[in-house]
Chain A
Amino acid sequence: MFIKKLMMVLLIASTGQTAEKLKIGLVLDKGGKEDKSFNSAAYQGASLAEKELGIELKYVEATDVNSIENLHRQFAKKKFDLVIGIGFAQQDAVKKVAAQNPDTKFVIVDGEVTAPNVRSLMFEEHQGSFLVGYLAAMKSKTKKVGYIGGMDIPLIRRFAVGYEAGVKHFDKSFTVLENYIGITADSWNNPAKAKELALNQFQQGADIIFVAAGASNSGVFDAAEEKKKLAIGVDSNQNWMKPGFILTSMLKRVDQGVFATIKDLKDSKFTPGIVRYGLKDKGIDYAMDKHNEKLVSADDVKKLEKIKAEIIEGKIKVPDFYLMKKK
């Protein structure tokens, strides 16, 4: 009896309270919100919205590829107003579930879905990678820099291609070492392997490594500290993680995109279609803060800003792996 009553009270409490609030569901990728990188950024954006916009946020982490669709369905069934899918892997699920739940709005980050109730957030990672590549080349003494990707997938190759172009733009004679942690989703969560690869690249003479590997990044930072070399973080601002050893972080402002979308919905300005974030709108950027101001001088920043402007104006064409593949 008591338990039943308790349940009823709970149910009433939970439904009553949220009658007016927007309900936002966030489906994170396997890496989880503690990856201090891609998923973290998405979660930060959403929780900022929770604080500032007064929405109700519920986030979940996928257990496997087939569970993603299930999670989107559950959110839709529970009449959430907006369901956000983080990561390319959720594209198909969003496509399918959105078609069946026209009243629910969906957002897919890093994927493209064309439907009247879906907004796709795309980021021009190659542009940012080009910039940090240019910076790495400026700072390198050995004329050799490294790149470590997480899972070997097109998105991560896109980082690599942009980065290499940035390096070569500075000086064609530079060498770029390129390694990937693995081929399974574990790659996002394997700092030990990341460290091993980083140590190996340092051994081969690289002195700066750009890493795009989710929660595995910390392994590369450790290696940089150990060998007194430099690393470049990704997605979130990771400069604080090993101050003095992280040259900069290539920012992919998923938090901004997520926050802006929730705000649009709140202000009834939600529009479907593809929204691209790039250098122009600061959706893609590089991080400067107190942790790396000693590493990157004002002079360097000036040079970078010049390159940035040239990319925005279209004077520099950054190669895009996605487009290369289609050819």
Chain B
Amino acid sequence: MKSFFGFLFGLFCALMIVLFAGENPLHILEILVRSSFGSKYDFGLTLFYMTSLIFTGLSVSVAFKSGLFNIGAEGQLNFSAISMVVFATTYPGITFPSSLLLILLVGILSGAIWGAIPGLLKAYRGSHEVIVTMMLNFVSAGISSYFISHQLQNPDSQNPESAVIVDAFRTNSFDFLNKLLPESPVNIFFIFAILMAITMYFFFTKSALGFEMIAVGENPSAAERASISSKKFIVLSLVLSGVLASGAGMNEVIGYSGQYKIGFSPEFGFMGIAVALMSNNHPLGIIANAFIMSVFHKGASDLDIETETITKDFSKIIQAMVLFGVGLQYYLNKYGVTISWFKKRKNLNQSGSV
């Protein structure tokens, strides 16, 4: 809630820029609202983006909390997605309840592995996690490309994508959320994402493990003195980070398309960094900011269609303005500057001279 004024301010600035581009700001606002809520499909697609952004936002924030910068959420969700598809195509015969459990397990494990690699390297070899996670993004892109073009290529399509996996591995047969918003890609993982955010909230506020993780992030040397092994928590938090990122892969593979398409993620992993930063790593704030980001991401293409000047690149400027507004608010909050602060200051100056 604290960033709400910042959000409004950023939005206001963005709309002013739009005015300079010769568009009516109200019209832009109307398009944005219509594009996210206009129809069941629109709303569903927005929520679908939001699902992945919650997962990656949480992923990045967990690493941030323990003082690490995970720019590898993209690679983690990618690796998890390709692993699930490889698993499902290798063992198509597994029957329903166990199939779903197993594919979830594969998704979680693969995300965990992709998080554990930078974690272990950082903790025991001192390699910088930013470099390692970035390289792993390429590695996982390479792995998925290998599988897609050499092993799993969908025979019915020229697209770089895998064949669709068997229904037993997917949630679409019982997905009540998707039934509510038919045709749209939104699925049951949206609910999981929200639940995950709430879980993370309680993890950090209530559990000793969460407290210890924050302690490592805040002050590793003090944590070490307090018998908290920073090595252990570096690995743990990056593993957790990878697992959370894998949720975005599940959202696509298990929840929606049932296949691995190269380029299915419009860099959710990197958008997650913005979401986490906007929310100051607060898990519940991530829900709100993931929504804002997805509205703008979804709105970008609609603005392109409906207006003359607002292309998809221009939309990026609008997104950046909003981000900037929220960031500014965070900065002001941090230094105790609020609207009432300005008022008080004014009063003080008046009374001070007496």
Contacts and interface: CB of A to CB of B under 8 A. Distances in A.
B72 to A, nearest CB: 15
Given A60-B301, A66-B185, A152 B159 contact: no
Contacts of A92: 157, 159
B45 A66 contact: yes
Interface stretch (A39-47, A69-77, A299-307): A69-77
Contacts of A61: 304, 311-312
A91 interface: yes
B157 A62 contact: no
Interface in B116-174: 141-142, 144-145, 149, 153, 155, 157-160
Contacts of B142: 183
Interface residues of B, number: 38
Interface in B194-231: none
Interface in B251-302: 261-266, 297-298, 300-302
Contacts of A65: 261, 263-264, 266
Contacts, number: 103
A91 B304 CA distance: 21
A89 interface: yes
Interface stretch (A3-11, A211-219, A253-261, A270-278): A3-11
B179 interface: no
Contact of A71 (B183, B261, B265, B301): B301
Contacts of B304: 60-61, 71
A91 B145 contact: no
A151 interface: yes
User: Chain B interface mostly helix, strand, loop or mixed?
Assistant: helix
Nearest to A157: B149
Contact of B262 (A25, A78, A91, A183): A183
Contacts of A63: 266, 297, 300-301, 312
Contacts of B98: none
B153 A154 contact: yes
A268 interface: no
B266 A184 contact: no
Given A61-B311, A66-B185, A183-B141, A153 B158 contact: yes
Nearest to B25: A3
B207 to A, nearest CB: 35
Given A7-B24, A183-B262, A74 B158 contact: no
Contacts of B160: 151-154, 183
Interface in A140-197: 151-155, 183-185
A326 B155 contact: yes
A64 B265 CA distance: 7
Given A183-B141, A184-B263, 16 more contacts: A3-B26, A6-B24, A7-B27, A58-B305, A61-B304, A61-B311, A63-B297, A64-B263, A66-B48, A67-B300, A70-B301, A70-B302, A91-B158, A111-B158, A153-B158, A183-B144
